[in-house]
Chain A
Amino acid sequence: MIRAENITKRFGDREVLKDISATFEPGQTNLIIGKSGSGKTVFMKCLVGLLDIDEGSIWYDDVLFSKLDFRAKKEIRKDMGMLFQGSALFDSMTVEENVRFPLDMFTTMSYSEKLDRVNFCLHRVDIIDSNSLFPSELSGGMKKRVAIARAIALKPRYLFCDEPNSGLDPKTSIVIDALIKEITNELNMTTIVNTHDMNSVMENGEKIIFIEEGEKCWEGSKNEILKSDNKLLNEFVFANALAKQLKASTK
């Protein structure tokens, strides 16, 4: 479980996160939604410790993560996997080397054991016979899947996905969403996904947090979103004509 309490983050005089509190349970896909520039990515980077918070606290189970030093944070980070917006695969490494990297770095497994784990992870995300390809030779969807394989190589307890569907077609987006959900359930991970893709919200939104201009404006599930009276949330979620019709039909 991850708990964020009263998180405030400033860049200079600009307050980009304002007193945000949230709890993310294991075994479910937690979504953070909001328009571009609302503070979703900053919030996620604060949760994983890539950005330091100015106020508040972040807990990983019973550990106060936000107060740990670099060395102690490193230990918890070994339990984290993250899928970055641009995949962040290492350009100079092949697909196999990318997925093997955390195993090389943090395990004492033999080469064949590592190779078995790499092939298992790649197979799990439906990447077959591509071990020797470089990231530049992969499509956007394949890059995301390899990044997921790398993120789960060490069997993490926490998975973070920043805009996993950005730049992908709707069909591939659905495949990636389904994959994240399946893996979350299989490994009983605490998964947090940043998204503004409404398909993802309606498919995967077991718990949804809506952020607007750095403030948490709403919290609920995908079923509750349809019935919500929150004006800002409705403007964001039901922005197009089709979505507005759907909302009208639920009333």
Chain B
Amino acid sequence: MLRFLSGFASYWMLLGKVFSRPEKVQIYYRQTMKELISLGIRSIGIVAIISFFMGAVITLQTAYNTENPIYPTYLIGLGCRDSILLEFSSTIVALILAGKVGSNIASEIGTMRVTEQIDALELMGVNSASYLILPKVVATLVFNPFLTLISIIVGILGGWIAGTSSGVITSQDFIYGIQYAFIPYYITYAIIKTLFFAFIITSVSAFQGYYVEGGSLEVGRASTKAVVYSSVTILLFNVILTQLLLS
């Protein structure tokens, strides 16, 4: 318990350092652009592939579980839309990104710590926490909502292709289903969750990397911890945010 509390306090102290005034805005802007490419654009592929297949599976499973003449077939489209919009595009994609982006951040910063690159920054008078972490936080906060939108579009597309090509639903019924009783607030809800999850992924992973002590073995452990802790925190906040935003 004491270890948890001291870790929690260190996390908030690190955030205090991260959000202090940048030394040179121009350099931070350049770093943020680099991180947008590294953490955002390079994640489009994995998000698109997983979303496509998840959309396909959601459609097929909904179809096989509603094989009853009482249920209109357009419900398959509706089920696919709501599953993707409410849970998959924000929470499941965030868990996937916790694995991809989180381990990347923890190992990058952890390696810089054990090879004294962070000491070198500090010695030059650079706020290493802010220089290394702030651009990553900003980049994911800016780009992850786009990843969520891509996930929504590609997921529904995957559902449509799987549903129509397997013959479980016609194209008209699917399109009618995804438009039926549509609540635009669900998109806002998904984006708000994405923003929280983006912050959790970058800050928790950066924290694990920043305080690594030892060598390559410890960097590997920090990388694993980053994925585990950020995933658990995402799941916890998913419950809290769902209660707050949908109740």
Contact = CB atoms under 8 A, between A and B. Distances in A.
A77 B125 CA distance: 5
B120 A84 contact: yes
B110 to A, nearest CB: 13
A104 interface: yes
Contacts of B126: 105
- Which residue among A75, A91, A105 has the maximum number of chain B CB atoms within 10 Å of its CB? A105
A58 to B, nearest CB: 14
Contacts, number: 50
- Which residue among B27, B112, B117 has the maximum number of chain A CB atoms within 10 Å of its CB? B117
B116 A102 contact: no
Interface string A68-85: 000001110110101011
B27 A105 contact: yes
Contacts of A91: 111-112, 115, 117
Nearest to B126: A105
A106 B125 contact: yes
A202 B116 CA distance: 28
Interface in A35-89: 45, 48, 50, 73-75, 77-78, 80, 82, 84-86, 88-89
A218 interface: no
Contact of B116 (A73, A75, A77, A86): A86
Contacts of A101: 124
A105 B23 CA distance: 7
A74 B115 CA distance: 22
A236 interface: no
Given A105-B23, A105-B24, A90 B117 contact: yes
A76 to B, nearest CB: 8
A89 B115 CA distance: 9
B125 A88 contact: no
B30 to A, nearest CB: 9
Contact of A82 (B23, B27, B123): B123
Contacts of B125: 73-75, 77-78, 105-106
A88 B125 CA distance: 15
B67 interface: no
B123 A48 contact: yes
Nearest to B123: A82
A88 B27 contact: no
Given A104-B27, A105-B27, A88 B119 contact: yes
A86 B119 CA distance: 12
Contacts of A105: 23-24, 27, 124-126
Contacts of B123: 48, 50, 77, 80, 82
A80 B119 CA distance: 13
Interface in B18-49: 23-24, 27
Nearest to A153: B124
Interface in A89-112: 89-91, 101-102, 104-106
Given A77-B125, A106-B125, A84 B116 contact: yes
A147 to B, nearest CB: 8
Nearest to B38: A92
A67 B122 CA distance: 17
A88 B115 contact: yes
A141 B122 CA distance: 24
Nearest to A45: B119
Contacts of B112: 90-91
B124 A77 contact: yes
A90 B120 CA distance: 9
Contacts of B116: 84-86, 88
B162 to A, nearest CB: 41
Nearest to B122: A50
Nearest to B115: A86
B242 to A, nearest CB: 38
Contacts of B120: 82, 84, 88, 90
Nearest to A160: B123
A106 B126 CA distance: 9
Contacts of A90: 112, 117, 120
10 contacts: A50-B123, A78-B125, A80-B123, A84-B116, A85-B116, A88-B117, A90-B112, A104-B24, A104-B27, A105-B126
Given A77-B124, A82-B123, A106-B23, 6 more contacts: A78-B125, A85-B116, A89-B117, A104-B27, A105-B124, A106-B124
